[in-house]
Structures are given as C-alpha cells and as structure tokens.
Amino acid sequence: MNTINEFLNLKDFESIVFKGKKVSLSDAVINRVEKSFNFLKSFSQNKVIYGVNTGFGPMAQYRIKDEDRLQLQYNLIRSHASGIGKPLDPVHVKSAILARLNTLSLGNSGVHPSAINLMKELINRDITPLIFEHGGVGASGDLVQLAHLALVLIGEGEVFYKGERRNTEDVFKIEGLSPMKVEVREGLALMNGTSVMTGVGIVNTYYAEKLIDWSVKMSCAINEIVQAYDDHYSVELNRTKRHFGQQEIAKRMRENLSDSKLVRKREDHLYSGDNTEEVFKDKVQEYYSLRCVPQILGPVLDTVNNVNKVLENEINSANDNPIVDVENEHVYHGGNFHGDYISLEMDKLKIVITKLTMLAERQLNYLLNSKLNEILPPFVNLGTLGFNFGMQGVQFTATSTTAENQMLSNPMYVHSIPNNNDNQDIVSMGTNSAVIAQKVIENAFQVLSIELITIVQAIDILEQKDVVSSTTRKMYDDVRAIIPTFKEDQVMYPFLEKVKNYLIKEQ
C-alpha cells in the first residue's frame, strides 16, 4: 500500500502504475483538502473568483448567479468532454489519475474530499476512464482529456472495466461507488492541470530507461561479435569527458562485458610486436556506431534523468488556476496550468529516443552489410546466398520505422496555435508532445527487436554463444526461446512482435 502524504516520487508511481500497489490517503491529506475546500467555500462569498462565480476563459467577464454555480461546473465538464481518436492506454490513464490525485492532495485547489477519494478508488479497482489521445492544447492544462476524467467522477461517460468498455453509471453500481460531490469548483480544479501530459510522460520515461538498458546491452553484444578493443569504454578514456551520462554508459558497458572472452585489449595486439605491415590486418578503430556508444547514449541518459526531475516536480506541484492559499487566506489567479515544462521535456525525450533508434538502425546495418563487418554473410543469412534472404526483409521495417521516428521527433513545443477566442494566445501542445513521444518509444522497441534477432543470428553464425558475456548469453537464450535458429525463410512478423514484447516486459 502506498500512502499519499507529502511527496510522491517516481518510484512510488512505478509501484502503483506498473506493479499494482494500492493507494491510500493519509489523514494529513484529508485534513489538508478539507481545510482548503472549507476556506474557498467561505472566502468566495461576495468576491469575484474565476470559475467559482464567473464564466470560463474569455467568458470570465460574465457573472454567474449563485443558484447556477453548481450547474456551471457540470456544464464545463460535459461541454469539454470532446476528445477524439484512439483511447489512451490504461497505464497512461492510471498514471494521469495518480498525477491529478497527488496535485489536488496538496490543498491548493479547494476541491471536495470526495474527488480525491473517488480517484483513489478508480486506481485501486482498475476502473479506467475513457480518455482520448486528441483534444488538449496543453495551455489551461489538459482541458479536454481531464474533462473525460471529470465526466467519470460525476458518474457519467464511459470506462474500461474488466476488459470491457462500459457506461460509468453501470460500473459504479457494480462497485458500490458514488459520484463525487460538486460543491464549489470541482469541475475546473479537475480540468485545469497538466496531469495527463505528465502521467503519459512518466510512463514514457519508464520505458525510455528500458530502451537505454537494452541499447547498451546490444551495443556490447555487437562489440563482442566483432571482437572489438575495450579501450573505448574504459575508465581512463571516459573520465576525460566530464559528463555523467557518458561515464555511466561506459561503466555499464564494462559491467556487461566483464566476463566476455571476445573483447580484446589493444596492448595485446596493436601495441605489441613489430607492427611493420603497410596495411594493418586488424581494424585500428571500429565504426562510430560501435566505438562511440558512451558518447551517443550518454546524452540520452542525461536527458531522461533530467526529464524525470521535471516530471517529479510537476506531479508535486499545484498546476491549476486559481490557487487557494489557506495559510495566507488568499486566492491567487495565474497560469500554473500551462504545460510548457512538460511539453519541452517530452520533445527532448522524443529527440534522444529517436537518436537511440538511429544508433540501433546503424548497428543493424553494420551487421547486415558484409562489406562493412567483413565477418558475416550478407544479411546474416544462415541459408543459401541468393536463394534465402536471412534478415533482408526486416531491415526495410527497421529503416522505415526509424524514418518515422525522425519525422515525429520534430518539436511540438514551438507549434503554438492561438484558440479560445485568443484567450489562449500561446499554448504548449504538451499533451500532443507526450503522446507523440509515446509513439516514438513504441517504434524504438520495434527497431531494437529486429536488431536483437540479428545479433542472435550472428552469434550462431560465428559459433560464439559459449564465449560471449553472461549478459549477452542471457539475451541469446531468451530470444532463442522465442525464435529458433533459422536457415530457411519464414514469416517474421509474429517473431518480431514476440521479441518486442519481451523487450518491453523484461525487467
């Protein structure tokens, strides 16, 4: 059980969203939310407070009658539940609900405690609100996507429940749940925020870290296959570059290759003997896709780490409007809902995962091109050249998918389009950026699945399975449990899907 209290870190998120831990609310949180709610309800009497007794956006100049205040919140939720496209994956929705729950628990929003209690129940009972990919511009937060969450919290809309898409009202009856109470500004507080883009972003970095780990392991395996020299990932070389990511990637390479019998030391070959040849038989240096792994994946790792810091700050921040300050007995109007922080970080994430994909594609090409590696048959073909095709067909898939990532990595952050009668005259597009980053990550797993199958085939051709490192051997054995060594041509797409799922799910 994870208790929401003062600060929720990304490890807490991981245990709840990916490992199924239940959520509880501390007494301190309940008291804090109740105080905020009671203060706002009292303070808002005879004052003009946005979204409590005014219209929304450019309609804020219109006063709302006291008897219409509650209906105003329902009108807002229903009118903005206007998303379209594919439903978000349940893991993204769960992460978004948790992000919204945590920020409302800070006591800066004036919501009724029933709102956070019901969100807790949705998480714990695996009830997934129907939220669509398209709709938010990320300025007043994820207005459209969060409206779909709010719609479920008032007992309307649809949810996914035990594998079926069902009406919320029916599921609430089955589970004995009641809609939240709408009292002051629950609709606006739920919808004004960055929780969907942040929730999707947290899932993205979780998988991005896996991609980095796999990319390091596959890079190590290729260095083994070609019996590369070990100095390019040495402590001595990499400590001369003062970047954490580069040094950490080099360290991981050393750990992964510590028991390999294939990597070589330069002093045993090119630094010994007479070395009088005019043309050296041994390669003096490997291609960049093998030799520059710390320098390429280092910035990827550093970027993911920084994205995580921003995400963690965001989920522990008040990101709606206005902000309720119980301690100073004041309500402040501003723009904490603006999603620029997350939008920019998701764009950075897209860029570095695309670069990781490009590295994988180049390493794959190196293995498939016999003129480059000079030790493997064309297309790592174990069959008859000309008659069989080996990995030739799947290279097209890897190339086209990498190209799509290159296109998708163009930033959303700078694609602001004014809307809302120009009230939202500059927007973040953070929700789009997070969703597109998710697609880039999914594509990266597809390319790496093709690379990994090719690596395993190469190991078989060179009969190296008993001399590779234990890390590489585990990858080899795991993949061979999915796709046996093949010489004859076969339909590849079922194997690609299975290896991709292995990369996604393996811890």
Q: Which amino acids are annotated catalytic?
A: 50
Q: What is the DSSP letter of 477?
A: H
Distances, alpha carbon 101 to alpha carbons 67, 136, 194, in Å:
29, 19, 12
Q: Are 67 and 93 in contact (CB under 8 A)?
A: no
Nearest Cα to Cα of residue 39 among 231, 325, 420: 325
Contact (CB, 8 A) for 304 and 441:
no
How far is CA 402 from each of CA 2, 86, 361, rounded to the nearest angstrom?
39, 23, 7
Cα separation, 459 vs 453, in Å, equals 10
Instruction: Please report which residue ranges of 163-194 form alpha helices under DSSP H.
Output: 168-175, 186-191
- Rounded CA separation 56/25 (Å): 31
DSSP class per residue in 478-492: HHHTTS----S----
Determine contact, residues 101/116, Cβ cutoff 8 Å: yes
The total number of residues written for the chain in this structure: 507
Give the CA diameter of the chain: 96
Segments in 369-429 forming alpha helices (H): 370-373, 392-408
Which DSSP helix (H) or strand (E) runs through 498? helix 493-505
